[in-house]
Structure 1
């Protein structure tokens, strides 16, 4: 939720950040009471379920949507998919989003229909999707389509034209108009985010029904860096989270999710270091990346949802590095759907507090209620409430006067979530007289009110927020924590409230008491009462340097432990630096032309650090000038961490070249993004081993030599023995040289 979370006890992590993080707080012992799951959650019905979007339907089911890949190896290609669950454990596959009968008329027959996003807007479900090629122009001219349905399961009726038309790049081609995501801001306005690497991500305001752009688009991310955008509101901030790097490079996929935040849905979105996601030196705080401790790589293109206790979760796809292909190498990637908790640490979203994708049993999202019966049939848990029905919601509860729950809400804190009709009046009261709080959804008046009630209905404190006009159902959630109450109204409780009201009540706390729902013939549905999730997670620990094992200061001849691969006479030790002029050389594929300076490494855990200067400028295209650290088993099996110019952007990439499949002589190269570079910066590679005995190499960078950002990890087999060292290359124009100032190898601190 929004402001309520500032009322909860939290753990300060400033010291943890300074020290490289702290051990994650253990999960509550009550978490397992609701059951566990193990990733991938889509395994029972699909081998691949990429680009997932999720929504809780007004019928009480959770629906998950996926892009248009075959579900299983050997299947015919789908046209988008939909499945559903009640508990995030048992799933039912429902079929495809489109068929030959309802495929958009303006989509080419061979076009892909990708990356669905579903929202409930103004009384119906709105599906946004990518069309990779339209009939509107010759050539690949992607666009965003929109379709509507009265049910989250469809059938879907597409609009006669795109909601975002193909966008010319001015040179005879078209920008990548991919990956739509809807969003509602706290003033009730509707927005649509879209875009990808070629052209950047944009946002445009859309009409109240979600079907028509009503303003001019604003670019919110830099070219060549982000796609798969998803936006949420948290504590008064708008967080833009988006994926970066190649989604689909088989065993070399390093796809990851990053975030920036803003006070406006139009940005600018800045990361935790104040760097703009729409700058040439592109910012982004890591939300989700591979950890090297399990087989999940390429984790990204996500959605966010909230459970009945107010805990956030991230649904995303990832690749099993041991089984990366759905069919043959270089074909479709096997990308099942995973779910993990999304912790908020020091104001930033972190998947499992920085531990990343899970492969062990995890507590399920809480979908049950402390009240008896099925939340989708609320009359079973209240006296004074009668059963009703609705075409979208199915069985509902009807309140004519007041209805009282047959079990109490917890003392002092509780989260109540229910669906209400947009044009009706519903109140929810917690606590026992004479000390109560009341939240009122007043559709006719267009108001959301939170009130502290003392004695016989005396309101001593209150807050009011405006509700936008609309039809259909809306989700009302309220949290009482300590001595404060906050209420939110949204379309579907997807972290995008259209109204927020909050009130404090110092001096007392609420007693355990039944929940009282009031209304004048009002309908309610999907009503849960639960305890409140508290954010207490600390950041996952990161590697810290201990004793110095080796140091190279480049103040004379190179230490004899170094050896060259393809030496270049132009590389000199001069002025206390290793001066390395960039050449038009590379290591990728069959090129294998770049010089490398390598050394053997200790057997135990260690950290190699280098300081280097490489000024790549800004904005201009200088593909792909770079320099940094390389982990080198062979020329066809390596990882490299480098500050690099990629078209208009500057970034630090952690690339990997590896065989496409065991025994296959062909290789594939891709990588993960670690963060933003600086002309002079520090880089680290930390070595450890995982439970399978594999070698894990995690990347870290620092722009100032003091604060460090740690990102993705790559693994090498247990029997590998790579050497580690320095590299540079990628292009000779304009002339530039990398200057390595020193190299230090540390023992990793306990």
Structure 2
């Protein structure tokens, strides 16, 4: 594939025409329409005239196909990604057998990949060699779930230990060498669910936070001034069955907590999904789109990513990356449905392990009505997708010189540098909706876009925008002007937004929003120093991404199928039903099927609960029930099943499940579970996924189409929260269960079956 990365819709918006652009500060012509051409600057001198003109029109629109790690490594779980100051993207993964297909039987500790385009990746070594583990690691340790940040001239990689505790390593470069900084959170770190799956965050005031926790609580604490230890109280910010993998970004005035729930790594039975809540403080409280707090004792809405039955299972444990056009991308792992498991391997801890393959995936992350969702809700991709934009229309990483830029800065060792006030401008210029960015360091360093300059003013401790428009925002008191920061100028129509961050991970520490004057036409891109020494690197501009604003269509119910429907208006279920293990306590009364919960169950080797079943329609269908359930004790549950036999079914139930780590506390969960035989060893296996909130009265739906069952739930019977999907081919019957422990009662208002719309 071509190395130029741009989107089909960008290609349609951009032409190859060229026009003269005014010098910075000159009067501006009428503003072009959004998406107008990138223009070449007029000949200013012999040196400028000799520089190649750069067009915004790409030669082709490139695509990618998941997993993007294919051909490089076999697996890459729990990915963390950062755009290094060397201009490349770097990814770090959980300890795993990345080269098993090449004959290696062991693991690599926190393997590292690099890429120039977020699509083609190269193995770049490991954070710690197997022969050089830190001496303080407890016996049996396998490091998990790295997170990487850049600030104060160092890359800071945190990781969790499988035996508990969080460690820190630092490096001057994204590929090491890494220096062990010891343990920053002990195994007993104050969060009831333990100390794994950590991620750092920098707030707008420059303060640092650490998020961590797994199975079933996520916690946060403020860190010390240099981000090397916990310095504040530990706050619980999320409760959920198997909730883990917290990752926080700041956008549009909100703090968004991404997290995963369900099972991460049980082969084809992994129920991982990504969800999100948001808050107005990094300490929470975080809430879902419907207002459920993440600490509420119920399953949550706010789906970002879930399996759809298209070949990928258990997508989750995400990070984020932003391409040069400003499009965000969810970076995550997922499991190939048809090749989910490794053979036994020798773990980094010396034990023999049975592990799941979890390769590296990327997909477009849309922000619709203020909430993140992958591919507008379409889920993990399994075909050709438009690739990230990772080549500038105008700009350079300056790896081999300063071609295309001229002025007062000089090229040295892969960057532009100056000892005094100076400006260097690109030969090409940009117009229309664009994103301009550059890495800068220095007490008055900045970048320019036409007659607008954004720069770091150490004297006033502000991000200053001046020229055609003026404005400023305070920088944190601890802002280090001698460490690299990324300044971004984003133009959409008449709006111009300037931001600054340490590492482009949606944690800007200053933002200036301005309105451009009428007739603003853009211009060239520049490196700027207002006074004194400054360095600028990775400077360029790309046409701005076009946001997706509408969700993908969700499934709907079609015509009611009366032959497969029961309104429970008589004194017994209608003639279509039969029993697998009769339940004498079940009655039909007052328009309800009433089922007290049984002591039995329908799980793995415990198959003693009664299942009321009926045939399913021959074609695609949706089965729905309205359920009232008063369960309060662990494992009590009631709901629908698509049932073949006791060891092969999918279940959608309101389940009461214990909250791990907190005694006598239970979650009301919308549980969506698949049970079947594992292909690799024929063992009966059960894996859960979790849907939206589970109130005392709720509606449940199961869609079955083309060998895939997908769940939905509702709190009003009108608005549906669609969740994950499990593959489950026919033959299947529609069933009703109430089980998991006596003492609760399920009241089914109806079981209606519809043709799938």
Q: If the TM-score is normalised by the length of the shorter chain, which range does it land in?
A: 0.7 to 0.9
Deviation of the 1:75 alpha carbon:
2.7
Q: Is the 8 A contact 1:607 1:687 kept in 2?
A: yes
Alpha-carbon spacing, 1:33–1:649, altered in 2? closer, same or farther (3 Å) = farther
SS in 2 for 1:251: helix
Q: Distance in 2 between matches of 1:124 and 1:444?
A: 24
Alpha-carbon spacing, 1:487–1:632, altered in 2? closer, same or farther (3 Å) = same
1:728 aligns with 2:743: no
1:579 aligns with 2:594: yes
Match of 1:382 in 2: 405
Alpha-carbon spacing, 1:473–1:211, altered in 2? closer, same or farther (3 Å) = same
Alpha-carbon spacing, 1:427–1:69, altered in 2? closer, same or farther (3 Å) = closer
Figure out how many residues of one structure are paired with residues of the other and give that number: 677
Q: Distance in 2 between matches of 1:724 and 1:509?
A: 64
Deviation of the 1:327 alpha carbon:
1.5
Q: Distance in 1 between matches of 2:344 and 2:489?
A: 50
1:103 aligns with 2:133: yes
Q: Distance in 2 between matches of 1:168 and 1:396?
A: 44
Match of 1:310 in 2: 326
The TM-score with structure 2 as length reference comes to 0.86
Q: Is the 8 A contact 1:377 1:526 kept in 2?
A: no
Match of 2:340 in 1: 324
Q: Is the 8 A contact 1:104 1:159 kept in 2?
A: no
1:273 pairs, out of 259, 272, 290, with 290
Match of 1:445 in 2: 460
* Structure 1 residues 8-45: Cα deviation after superposition (integer angstroms, max 9, x where no partner): xxxxxxxxxxxxxxxxxxxxx98993521111111122
Match of 2:439 in 1: 419
Structure 1 segment 576-655 matched on structure 2, within 5 A: 576-617=591-632, 622-647=633-658, 648-655=666-673
Deviation of the 1:561 alpha carbon:
1.4
Q: Is the 8 A contact 1:378 1:527 kept in 2?
A: no
Match of 1:510 in 2: 520
Deviation of the 1:482 alpha carbon:
1.1
Q: Unmatched 5+ residue regions in structure 1?
A: 1-28, 134-141, 454-458, 690-694
Q: Is the 8 A contact 2:439 2:487 kept in 1?
A: yes
Q: Is the 8 A contact 1:596 1:726 kept in 2?
A: yes
1:41 pairs, out of 68, 81, 96, with 68
SS in 2 for 1:179: coil
Q: Is the 8 A contact 1:81 1:96 kept in 2?
A: yes
Match of 1:492 in 2: 503
* Structure 1 residues 444-466: Cα deviation after superposition (integer angstroms, max 9, x where no partner): 5321123462xxxxx6x423232
Alpha-carbon spacing, 1:305–1:243, altered in 2? closer, same or farther (3 Å) = same
Deviation of the 1:469 alpha carbon:
2.0
Q: Distance in 1 between matches of 2:431 and 2:251?
A: 24
Q: Is the 8 A contact 2:631 2:745 kept in 1?
A: no
Q: Is the 8 A contact 2:395 2:426 kept in 1?
A: no
Match of 1:739 in 2: 747
Alpha-carbon spacing, 1:605–1:355, altered in 2? closer, same or farther (3 Å) = same
Alpha-carbon spacing, 1:378–1:508, altered in 2? closer, same or farther (3 Å) = farther
* Structure 1 residues 502-525: Cα deviation after superposition (integer angstroms, max 9, x where no partner): 1123x5142142223321442100
1:112 pairs, out of 138, 142, 165, with 142
2:551 pairs, out of 534, 539, 543, with 539
Match of 2:177 in 1: 155
Q: Distance in 2 between matches of 1:52 and 1:416?
A: 27
Q: Distance in 2 between matches of 1:688 and 1:446?
A: 59
Alpha-carbon spacing, 1:396–1:90, altered in 2? closer, same or farther (3 Å) = farther
SS in 2 for 1:424: coil
Q: Is the 8 A contact 2:611 2:735 kept in 1?
A: yes
1:402 aligns with 2:423: yes
Q: Distance in 2 between matches of 1:169 and 1:512?
A: 52
Deviation of the 1:674 alpha carbon:
1.0
Q: Is the 8 A contact 2:495 2:514 kept in 1?
A: yes
Q: Distance in 1 between matches of 2:550 and 2:618?
A: 30
Alpha-carbon spacing, 1:361–1:387, altered in 2? closer, same or farther (3 Å) = farther
Deviation of the 1:349 alpha carbon:
0.6
* Structure 1 residues 387-431: Cα deviation after superposition (integer angstroms, max 9, x where no partner): 4446xxx444548522121001123x221111011x431233334
Q: Distance in 2 between matches of 1:526 and 1:89?
A: 19
Q: Distance in 2 between matches of 1:684 and 1:375?
A: 56
SS in 2 for 1:353: helix
Match of 1:702 in 2: 714
Structure 1 segment 74-85 matched on structure 2, within 5 A: 74-85=104-115
Q: Distance in 2 between matches of 1:295 and 1:253?
A: 13
* Structure 1 residues 134-178: Cα deviation after superposition (integer angstroms, max 9, x where no partner): xxxxxxxx1111111111111222223x211122789xxx74210
Q: Is the 8 A contact 1:270 1:283 kept in 2?
A: no
Match of 1:429 in 2: 448
Match of 1:356 in 2: 379
Q: Unmatched 5+ residue regions in structure 2?
A: 1-55, 346-352, 659-665
Q: Is the 8 A contact 1:80 1:113 kept in 2?
A: yes
Structure 1 segment 223-242 matched on structure 2, within 5 A: 224-242=241-259
Alpha-carbon spacing, 1:372–1:167, altered in 2? closer, same or farther (3 Å) = closer
2:95 pairs, out of 64, 68, 75, with 68
Match of 1:18 in 2: none
SS in 1 for 2:138: coil
Q: Distance in 2 between matches of 1:64 and 1:439?
A: 30
* Structure 1 residues 46-73: Cα deviation after superposition (integer angstroms, max 9, x where no partner): 1111000000111111110000111133
Q: Is the 8 A contact 1:102 1:158 kept in 2?
A: no
Q: Distance in 1 between matches of 2:151 and 2:449?
A: 29
Q: Distance in 2 between matches of 1:711 and 1:46?
A: 30
Q: Is the 8 A contact 2:342 2:356 kept in 1?
A: yes
Deviation of the 1:374 alpha carbon:
4.4
Alpha-carbon spacing, 1:430–1:154, altered in 2? closer, same or farther (3 Å) = closer
Q: Is the 8 A contact 1:344 1:350 kept in 2?
A: yes
* Structure 1 residues 713-747: Cα deviation after superposition (integer angstroms, max 9, x where no partner): 11123xx2211221121112xx1111111111112
2:85 pairs, out of 45, 58, 61, with 58
Q: Is the 8 A contact 1:275 1:282 kept in 2?
A: no
Alpha-carbon spacing, 1:417–1:375, altered in 2? closer, same or farther (3 Å) = farther
1:333 pairs, out of 347, 350, 356, with 356
Match of 1:554 in 2: 568
SS in 2 for 1:541: coil
SS in 1 for 2:343: coil
Q: Distance in 2 between matches of 1:381 and 1:444?
A: 32
1:289 pairs, out of 278, 300, 306, with 306
Q: Is the 8 A contact 2:395 2:538 kept in 1?
A: no
Q: Distance in 2 between matches of 1:378 and 1:567?
A: 80
The TM-score with structure 1 as length reference comes to 0.87
Q: Distance in 1 between matches of 2:703 and 2:240?
A: 30
SS in 2 for 1:221: strand
Q: Distance in 2 between matches of 1:373 and 1:452?
A: 24
Q: Is the 8 A contact 1:624 1:644 kept in 2?
A: yes
